[in-house]
Amino acid sequence: MRHIILLAIFLFSTLTTYADTVKVGIKPSEPWVMYDKNRTVEERKPIGFSIDLWNKIAQNLNLNTEFVYFDSTTDLINATKDNKVDVGISAITITSDREEVIDFSNSMYELGLQVMINAENASSSVLSIMAKEIKKMMTTQSIIIFFLFLLITIHLRWYVDKKDKNSDLFSKEYVIGIKDAFWWGITMLVTWETPHSKGLARIIDLFWHIVGIIAISILTAIVTAALTAQTIGGSIHSEKDLAGKYIAAVATDAPRKYLEKIGANVVPVKTLNDGIELLKKGKVKALVHDGPRLVYLANKINKQEKRRVLAVLPFKFNPQNYGIVFPTGSSLKELVDRTLLKLRESDGLDSSYHKKLREKWLKNK
């Protein structure tokens, strides 16, 4: 009985302490925490996985929330350490170094690092790569120039043949003769089969034969270069394949340090958007970050572009956990841990609240 009374006093005192308002520090990190930074603090309405999770925790514990905004994880952790906020939540990786200055909740999300690449390098089909490169070459301007060049050539070839009474390569009638000359031009380009000819006709045949060789050589060179690029980009099958390649990573985040340890040529960037721009321009082979955030951004950008621009490779490495942070010794931590466990438990046949949040914010489309 004595233990029950003491527990009741502890819970009552804890809830009384936080009955007015709990200051919750957050920082932007899609899709965990998102809000319009151009709006005033009073007008901001943060959304995201972490926001929904915290609001549900606060509802279960009957807590009022005041969000406090930070620009970086470092600032958020320092504010928590100095008791300027009661709680910190976003996409904060649990690490031993951070645990020395603040307390972490149980894991609120388990994840690993993943690799984002240019979607063009994700294709392994030779035919699809050839089709893409041919499509790039077949601009409206290039098609018009080709057909003008072809028309001039076949007319000249037909006219020369018409004047040769001993030649029956083409019909002497214009319409039929030009059709014959057209197929002569296409056949020469594709098969390089040259008819028996002499004089000016032989010169035209040789000229068109050389045009065909040059065209095929250019196409071969372009496709070969594309295949080489695809081989390099498509050769990333695990974190071991990142060694020696130029890989973008946010300069202030933990993935950069890990990539340096495994021998990648890290290109530090200020934000993930900066890394994505380098990836699009081909200045890096990949971008490495926490998997769920890369998947969210890839889906968002592909939807905006209305085509598959970015791809996130399916393998994961360097397992991590996100946690909620508290000042050292916070009495609120135990209550939040219990609520987190409760929100992970399924409700009969219904999915857990945690699973519903994953499906809402972190579904890989």
87 and 11, same structural domain?
A: yes
Show the CA angle centred on residue 93, arms to residues 88 and 98, nearest 5°: 75
* pLDDT attached to residue 121: 66
Question: Domain check: are 228 and 292 in the same one?
Answer: no
Of 193, 217, 233, which residue sits at a domain end?
233
Task: Say how many C-beta atoms besides its own lie within 10 A of residue 159's C-beta.
Answer: 15
Give residue 208's pLDDT.
81
Q: Are residues 276 and 347 in the same domain?
A: no
Alpha-helical segments (H) within the chain: 2-17, 49-61, 73-81, 96-99, 126-137, 140-163, 174-191, 199-233, 254-261, 272-280, 291-305, 332-344, 353-361
Domain final residue, candidates 233, 252, 277: 233
Residues 334 and 260 in one domain: no
Same domain, 180 and 91: no
Instruction: Of 185, 101, 79, 7, give the one whose Cα is nearest residue 90.
Output: 79
| Contact (CB, 8 A) for 287 and 41 | no
Report which residue type is found at 131: A
Rounded Cα distance between 263 and 45, Å, is: 42
Residue 289's DSSP bridge partners are: 114
**307 and 217 in a common domain:** no
Per-residue pLDDT of the chain (365 residues; tens, 9 = 90+): 444 444 444 444 444 444 568 999 999 998 999 999 999 988 999 999 999 999 999 999 999 999 999 999 999 999 999 999 999 999 999 989 899 999 999 999 999 999 999 887 665 555 566 666 677 777 888 888 888 988 998 888 888 888 887 777 888 888 888 888 888 888 877 775 666 767 787 788 778 878 878 877 877 777 676 655 555 445 788 888 899 999 999 987 778 888 999 999 999 999 999 999 999 998 999 999 999 999 999 999 999 999 889 999 988 999 989 999 999 999 999 999 999 999 999 877 688 999 999 999 987 65
How far is residue 325 from each of residues 79, 96, 154, 305, measured CA to CA in Å?
10, 13, 77, 37
Distance between CA 310 and CA 120 in Å, rounded?
A: 8
How far apart, in whole angstroms, are the C-alpha atoms of residue 125 and residue 103? 50
Closest CA to 114 of 285, 319, 307: 319
Name the residue among 118, 191, 188 with its Cα closest to residue 149: 188
Answer yes or no: are the C-beta atoms of 105 and 327 closer than 8 Å. no
Shared domain check, 297 and 350: no
Co-location of 104 and 10 in the same domain: yes
297-337 pLDDT, tens digit per residue, is 999 999 999 988 999 998 899 998 999 999 999 999 999 99
Question: Based on the domain organization, do 158 and 214 belong to the same domain?
Answer: yes
Looking at the structure of the chain, the number of domains it has is 3
Beta strand 246-250 with 310-312 is unpaired
- 33 plus 104 within the same structural domain: yes
CATH number at residue 52: 3.40.190.10
The H or E element that residue 362 is part of is: none
- The pLDDT, as a whole number, for residue 338 is 96
> How many residues in the chain?
365
Same domain, 261 and 202: no
Which of 322, 321, 318 lies closest to 259, judged by CA?
A: 318
Q: Which of 217, 233, 249 is the last residue of a domain?
A: 233
Give the residue numbers spanning the domain of 289: 117-124+235-318
pTM exceeds 0.75, yes or no: no
Quick one: 142 and 89 in the same domain?
no
Q: What is the pLDDT of residue 7?
A: 44
CATH code at position 184? 1.10.287.70
